């Protein structure tokens, strides 16, 4: 019982520290310390457990993948590839509506905390062409940016969930993809379909012909496209596909623009990498708590449906912490031991992911919401009200996918 109380204290401490804007790795370190003290094991045994958790290939792969994705993001930005890609995109699609969907979604591929601020200026410019209100612009910026969380193989939370559960990431994406599509379709209908597309009616000078802009798109976006294609279609290991993307960015970018000392020291985002490592160590230690398994067996025998646990627990953690990686990292190792090996694990993973995402998104301390609302100078609740329908439709669809999947299995 003492270990379970310590786990609750550790979870509460982690959520509180994240809420107070401490770095994720600091919160995880304190949570790990609380667990270690409660276990009552010798110093040597504790060091052995920590060493085993950190030396697991799953942990190493997750940490390196997050670092490489962050580095690729920094290279694309600092070497001018991202800016040029955005310009070529607007010229290529000749539609402010399509560009306004694609640009936040593209930036959403990268694990940038508060990343909505990077797409906000572009969304603001395109929104002016479409005569959109500030509430619509901030909602479009957030909804389209986060749509890719459902199907990006580079999303740290999805990588983390795959690492913890052992479920193939592309298998999860197969069922999460319709949620991302629904997010975009409903968002388009609510925010953009009635707007007049000024780019179509007033093309910019120097846009160039269709093939010229396509070549620019492919060239400036090559590092990202290459990594995605190799990983998704050719099943090249994630780390190798990301390294190839980094090399491509170095070859194709404007190297005169980049400060490579800064790029390679700060680009990999050591803070996020340490946080992911902390989550993996924490979930490994949770597996060593004998008292927890007794509690979990009691819960399983109590008759509470796993369905409710996989909805409620991620929802609470996500709403309180406003950290999607933390939500996945805490709830997955706690809940998945409750499942029987019946072939429906992937659908429970989808349920956990969708519930955690929903609550993380609407959390009052969600940083993307805060920075986007501040940029567009809107009241949070005013923008929230026109985002809720998109989130609700998407979450209901996740319940339908879960129900059909479990029924078929």
Calculate what percentage of the chain has a pLDDT beyond 70: 91
pLDDT of residue 143: 96
pLDDT of residue 113: 61
Res. 208: pLDDT tops 70: no
Residue partners of 263: CB distance under 8 A and separation at least 6: 71, 74, 75, 78
Q: Taking residues 41-67, what's their average pLDDT?
A: 89
Res. 206: pLDDT tops 50: no
Res. 201: pLDDT tops 50: no
Looking at 82-91, 125-134, 188-197, 228-237, which range is the least confident one? 82-91
Residue partners of 175: CB distance under 8 A and separation at least 6: 346, 347, 350, 401, 405
Res. 202: pLDDT tops 70: no
Tokens 């990006």 map to which residue? 152
Tokens 């107070």 map to which residue? 20
**Rounded alpha-carbon distances, angstroms, from residue 236 to 175, 232, 242:** 21, 8, 10
pLDDT averaged over every residue in the chain: 86
pLDDT of residue 224: 84
Calculate what percentage of the chain has a pLDDT beyond 90: 40
| Dihedral over alpha carbons 141, 143, 149, 152 (to 10 degrees) | -60
Tokens 């990202």 map to which residue? 224
State the distance between the two ends of the chain, measured CA to CA, in whole angstroms: 36
379: number of Cβ within 10 Å: 11
Res. 383: pLDDT tops 90: no
393 and 349 Cβ atoms separated by less than 8 Å? no
Structure tokens at 284: 């490994």
Tokens 């670092």 map to which residue? 67
Residue partners of 211: CB distance under 8 A and separation at least 6: none
φ/ψ of 168, rounded to 5, equals: -60, 130
Maximum average pLDDT range among 250-264, 281-295, 347-361: 347-361
pLDDT of residue 231: 85
Residue partners of 369: CB distance under 8 A and separation at least 6: 116, 142, 361, 363, 380, 383, 384
For 143-157, the pLDDT digits (tens) are 999 999 999 998 999
Q: Taking residues 28-39, what's their average pLDDT?
A: 91
Provide the residue count of the chain.
409
Given pLDDT bands bounded at 50, 70 and 90, which one contains residue 213? confident
241 and 69 Cβ atoms separated by less than 8 Å? no
Torsion region of 304: left, alpha or beta (phi above 0 gives left; psi -120 to 50 gives alpha): beta
Structure tokens at 278: 């902390």
Q: Is 208 helix (H, G, I), strand (E, B) or coil?
A: coil
Residue partners of 279: CB distance under 8 A and separation at least 6: 24, 28, 160, 325, 326, 329, 330
304: number of Cβ within 10 Å: 12
pLDDT of residue 179: 97
Instruction: Write the DSSP string, 277-298.
Output: HHHHHHHHHHTT-HHHHHHHHH
Q: How far apart are CA 96 and CA 102, in angstroms?
A: 10
Res. 21: pLDDT tops 70: yes
Q: How far apart are CA 122 and CA 130, in angstroms?
A: 13
């Amino acid at each position: 019982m003492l270990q379970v109380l310590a786990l609750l204290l550790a979870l509460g401490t982690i959520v509180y520290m994240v809420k107070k804007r401490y770095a994720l790795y600091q919160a995880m370190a304190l949570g790990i310390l609380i667990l270690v003290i409660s276990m009552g094991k010798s110093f040597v045994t504790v060091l052995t457990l920590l060493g085993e958790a950190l030396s697991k290939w799953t942990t190493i792969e997750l940490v390196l993948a997050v670092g490489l994705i962050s580095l690729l993001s920094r290279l694309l930005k600092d070497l001018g590839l991202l800016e040029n890609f955005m310009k070529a995109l607007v010229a290529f699609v000749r539609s402010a509506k399509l560009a306004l969907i694609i640009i936040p979604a593209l930036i959403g591929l990268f694990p940038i905390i508060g990343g909505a601020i990077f797409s906000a200026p572009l969304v603001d410019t395109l929104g002016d062409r479409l005569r959109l209100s500030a509430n619509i612009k901030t909602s479009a910026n957030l909804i389209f940016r986060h749509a890719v969380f459902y199907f990006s193989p580079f999303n740290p939370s999805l990588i983390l969930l795959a690492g913890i559960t052992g479920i193939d990431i592309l298998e999860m994406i197969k069922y999460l993809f319709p949620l991302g599509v629904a997010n975009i379709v409903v968002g388009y209908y609510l925010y953009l379909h009635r707007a007049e597309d000024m780019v179509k009616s007033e093309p910019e000078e120097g846009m160039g012909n269709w093939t010229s802009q396509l070549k620019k798109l492919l060239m400036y976006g090559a590092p990202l496209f290459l990594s995605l294609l190799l990983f998704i279609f050719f099943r090249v290991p994630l780390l190798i596909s990301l390294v190839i993307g980094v090399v491509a960015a170095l070859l194709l970018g404007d190297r005169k623009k980049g400060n490579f000392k800064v790029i390679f020291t700060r680009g990999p985002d050591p803070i996020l990498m340490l946080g992911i490592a902390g989550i993996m160590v924490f979930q490994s230690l949770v597996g060593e708590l004998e008292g927890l398994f007794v509690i979990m067996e009691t819960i399983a025998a109590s008759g509470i449906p796993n369905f409710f646990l996989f909805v409620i627990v991620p929802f609470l953690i996500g709403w309180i912490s406003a950290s999607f990686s933390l939500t996945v990292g805490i709830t997955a190792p706690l809940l998945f031991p409750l499942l029987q090996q019946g072939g429906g694990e992937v659908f429970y993973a989808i349920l956990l992911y969708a519930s955690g995402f929903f609550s993380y998104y609407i959390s009052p301390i969600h940083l993307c919401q805060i920075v986007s609302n501040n940029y567009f100078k809107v009241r949070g609740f005013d923008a929230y009200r026109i985002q809720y329908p998109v989130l609700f439709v998407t979450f209901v669809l996740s319940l339908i996918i879960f129900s059909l999947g479990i029924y078929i299995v």
